[in-house]
């Protein structure tokens, strides 16, 4: 009996791309048609949000129970893929910083003024490099005091002026 339970735990229940159809409802929420069952609202949780954004995504129902795991978003139909990616964008919302207009180190905090792919923005992070996390390669995740996230895809590709602002903290 114990052995059987172990395998029950260790089996990953992958969603079959043919059977699982994701869509965004009119209200803007992600729904899932899985075979005959319809889930009005499902949540997505990335297992590896920094290195494998589009793989191993846990799909959970409103109660938080896992329905299954998306092995790779690429296996799904174009419509499903679109829906999944849209939902992921909201859930892991992190504008990409394209230009740094100013970073001031004052009173033990960093005051940022940046341009992102979603517009201009000012925010504050905690002192020095707290709040700036390297997430592989030259990618940086910046988390401000309120929990908002921003991303820099490759700091070497920033313009010289931006890089100069950033340099002391990486």
Residues that bind another protein (CB under 8 A): 1-2, 25-29, 40-41, 49, 63-64, 89-95, 101-102, 105-109, 111, 113, 116, 118-124, 126, 128-129, 144-149, 168
- List phi, psi (to 5°) of 169: -110, 0
Q: Shortest distance, CB of residue 128 to another protein, whole angstroms?
A: 7
Least distance CB 70 / another protein (angstroms): 17
Q: Which is nearer to another protein, 15 or 132 (CB)?
A: 132
Alpha-carbon Rg for the chain, nearest whole angstrom, is 20
Nearest to residue 24, comparing CAs of 37, 35, 36, 40? 40
> Distance between CA 162 and CA 19 in Å, rounded?
47
Q: How far apart are CA 132 and CA 112, in angstroms?
A: 12
User: 79 or 105: whose CB is closer to another protein?
Assistant: 105
Residue 122 or 157 with smaller CB distance to another protein: 122
CB of 116 to another protein, least distance (A): 8
Report, in Å, the least distance between residue 32 CB and another protein.
Answer: 14
Residue pair 116/148 in contact by the 8 Å Cβ criterion: no
């Amino acid at each position: 009996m114990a052995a059987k339970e172990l395998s029950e735990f260790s089996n990953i229940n992958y969603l079959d791309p043919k059977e699982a159809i994701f869509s965004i409802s009119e209200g803007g929420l992600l729904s899932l048609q899985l075979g005959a069952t319809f889930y009005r609202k499902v949540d997505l949780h990335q297992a590896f949000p920094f290195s494998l954004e589009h793989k191993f995504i846990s799909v959970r129902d409103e109660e938080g129970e896992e329905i299954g795991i998306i092995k790779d978003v690429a296996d799904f139909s174009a419509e499903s893929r679109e829906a999944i990616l849209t939902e992921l964008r909201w859930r892991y919302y992190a504008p990409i910083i394209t230009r740094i207009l100013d970073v001031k180190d004052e009173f033990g905090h960093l005051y940022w003024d940046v341009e992102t792919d979603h517009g201009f923005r000012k925010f504050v992070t905690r002192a020095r490099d707290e709040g700036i996390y390297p997430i592989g390669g030259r990618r940086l995740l910046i988390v401000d005091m309120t929990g908002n996230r921003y991303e820099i895809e490759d700091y070497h590709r920033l313009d010289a002026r931006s890089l100069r602002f950033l340099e002391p903290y990486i």
